[in-house]
Structure formats: structure tokens, C-alpha cells
Structure 1
Amino acid sequence: MKDFTYRPAEIADALKLSVLFKQVYIQTYGTEGVSTEFANFITHRFSVERIEGIIRRDPNCLTIAVYKDNFVGVAEVEFDKETPIGNITAPEISKLYVLEWFCGMGVGYGLTNEVERTLTQLGYEHYWLWVLISNTRAISFYERQGFEWIGNAFFHMEANSYENKVLVKKL
């Protein structure tokens, strides 16, 4: 087991986070390559400027996993989001990304623990996420962490929609 540390993001982290987000997103969702729609999405969603804005609004939204001063994973929480089904308003883990080389080493578990610690301190009783239905590795991970399936919903990009499982966890 490697020694990982976890901490909230700072403005100076935005460039490295942008690269990490893009790398994991392409590795996970680029199963058919990089389309124009896909390129537009990741270029906007993971821009340095957008990440800086997220950190300025609330540094607690991003938790970074660090190994030897390098970023290996990140969790992003969006507070008070409504689930696409089920009428639940709670924090959403909108991203839990771990570099492929560090999967299976406890980084995702550590990030989840840090998120749960923060949410518990803030008085939340549960939180949720959605995950691409074909991402069986992530679904299995979340189920092992105690998340429960409440239904499926579609994530819409420009022209395409992608089916996701919606999962909730009680704290």
C-alpha cells in the first residue's frame, strides 16, 4: 500500500486538476474514441478557468489524493443538487476520479471517506451520484461502499444521451 494524503484543492492546483480530470475522463468514457461532442464537453468542463472558479466558490468542493506531491485522484462534491429521479436533494459526488495506475490501491476509498467526513461535519444525512451503466468497475466500487441503486437516468451531452445508474448512500 502506498502512502496517500488527502487535502482540499487550492487555486494553484487548477492546472494539474484539469489534466487529471481529462485523463481519467478519456480513459473511462472514450471507449469509441474522441468525438467532437466529447472534445467540446471535456474542454469546457475541465478547463483551468472553470476549475479555478469552483475552488474560489468553495474549496471544500474538491478533495485531492496526493502521492509524492503528485495528484493521483480527486473527488468533486456539488452541494444541494437534486437527483435526476426520486426527488432527493442532497450533495452529489459529481466526480470521483482516480488515475488508472492507482486504481485498486485504496485511493477511491480514501477520497470517499474524506467526502463523508466533510458531509457529516456539515450535517448532511445522505449523498448521491450517478455512474455510466457500462462502468461496472465503478458500480461495484460504489456498492461495496454502501451506495444503493434508486433507478436509472440519462445524462445529456450535445446530441447524445448516456444511461446512468443513480445511487444514494445514507451517512
Structure 2
Amino acid sequence: MNTLKITKASTNDVIQLQAIGRQTFSETFADANSEENMNKYLDKSFAREKLTAELNNPSSYFYLAVLDEKVVGYLKLNTGDAQTEKESADALEIERIYVAKEFHGKKVAQALYAQAEHTAEELKASYMWLGVWEKNFRAVSFYTKNGFVQFDTHIFKLGDDEQTDLMMKKVLI
């Protein structure tokens, strides 16, 4: 594997972000969810206008994992009012770390996670938190390995389906 680069995404990257977002979410969850619910979620969450607005939000940060000029994964972080749950103003939410299936096990997610840690340090966040589907055992294991512990649950709507997310946090200071 050649050198992996983690680059900050801008509105110029919206089409690449939309493509990798739709691809990785589908690869991760399509087998466990109905096609109808998947399509509803993908159409809403990865609409170009929505992604452009999120990229323009100064409280959200997107990073792309690029290998040989190809986007193979991405990271989305939120602070302040951009967080999907009301958490502390000095918290950093990891909303998404997704990697194309063919690159699983190749340290891409770990590189994206390292960027999240770096951003948390720059922002002087007191903790990082996230929500992860209780049935996404690979991701739960990844976050546990990186020092996150469960502190609550919340409901995540995928189309019409209400699913339980584990809320996990890692205290930084």
C-alpha cells in the first residue's frame, strides 16, 4: 500500500464525499437493513445540498482518506451546536469514520481516528464521543480498542426503522 494521506475536505470535495459516503454506508449496513430504509437514509443524508451545508458549517470538520489519488474513506467531526446530541461545548463528536470495504484491516480507520485525536487536541476538547449501532460489532470493537467506553444509548432512525446506538466516550483531560 502506498502512502495514505488524510486531507481536510472542502466544498470542492462534495462529489467525492457524497460518493464515498454512500458507498461505505451501503457496504456497512445494506445487508442488515431493508432496501427502502437504506435508500431513504442515503438520499437524505448524502444529498449534495446537505453535504455542502455541513461542509460550510464552521463547527463540523470533514477529512478524506486518499490513497493513490482515490478517496477510500472519510471522517466527520462535530463541535458545539453541530453535535447530533446535546453534549458539552468542549466535546468533540466523531459522527462518522467510514472506510471502503476493500481497505478494511489496512489501518485507514486508525489513520482517520488519529486525525480525530489531533483535532480534539487542537480544539482542547475535554472528551470525544460517538454513537455506534449496537449491531456494528466491528466498529464497537474498534472504538473499545481505542479507549472508548459506553455511557448511554440513543435511537438512530434509518428510514422508518428505529435502531439503538451505543453512546461511547473517551475522556481526554
Paired residues for 1:28-39 under 5 Å: 28-32=28-32, 34-39=34-39
User: Which region of structure 1 is more displaced relative to structure 2, 74-83 or 17-26?
Assistant: 74-83
User: Which region of structure 1 is more displaced relative to structure 2, 51-60 or 68-77?
Assistant: 51-60
User: Which region of structure 1 is more displaced relative to structure 2, 9-18 or 49-58?
Assistant: 49-58
For the residues of structure 2 that align with 1:58 and 1:46, how far apart are their CA atoms?
A: 19
Q: What amino acid maps onto 1:21 in structure 2? A: G
User: Which region of structure 1 is more displaced relative to structure 2, 52-61 or 124-133?
Assistant: 52-61
Q: Contact (CA 8 Å) 1:75, 1:111: kept in 2 or not?
A: yes
Q: What amino acid maps onto 1:119 in structure 2? A: A
For the residues of structure 2 that align with 1:140 and 1:163, how far apart are their CA atoms?
A: 16
Deviating beyond 4 angstroms after TM superposition, the runs of 4 or more aligned structure 1 residues are none
User: 1:147: which partner in 2?
Assistant: 148
Q: CA deviation at 1:33?
A: 5.4
Q: Contact (CA 8 Å) 1:132, 1:164: kept in 2 or not?
A: yes
User: 2:165: which partner in 1?
Assistant: 164
For the residues of structure 2 that align with 1:75 and 1:156, how far apart are their CA atoms?
A: 20
Instruction: Find the residue that maps to 1:30 and give its secondary structure.
Output: helix
User: Which region of structure 1 is more displaced relative to structure 2, 16-25 or 29-38?
Assistant: 29-38
Q: Contact (CA 8 Å) 1:63, 1:115: kept in 2 or not?
A: no
Q: What amino acid maps onto 2:131 in structure 1? A: W
Instruction: Find the residue that maps to 1:31 and give its secondary structure.
Output: helix
Are 1:16 and 2:16 an aligned pair? yes
User: 2:97: which partner in 1?
Assistant: 96
Q: CA deviation at 1:35?
A: 2.9
Q: CA deviation at 1:162?
A: 0.4
Q: Contact (CA 8 Å) 2:153, 2:164: kept in 1 or not?
A: yes
User: 1:132: which partner in 2?
Assistant: 133
The 1:49–1:152 alpha-carbon spacing in structure 2 relative to 1, beyond 3 Å, is same
Task: Percent identity, please.
Answer: 23
For the residues of structure 2 that align with 1:139 and 1:162, how far apart are their CA atoms?
A: 15
User: 1:52: which partner in 2?
Assistant: 52
Q: CA deviation at 1:149?
A: 1.1
For the residues of structure 2 that align with 1:107 and 1:26, how far apart are their CA atoms?
A: 18
Q: TM-score, normalised by structure 2?
A: 0.88
Extract unaligned runs of 5+ from structure 1: none
Extract unaligned runs of 5+ from structure 2: none
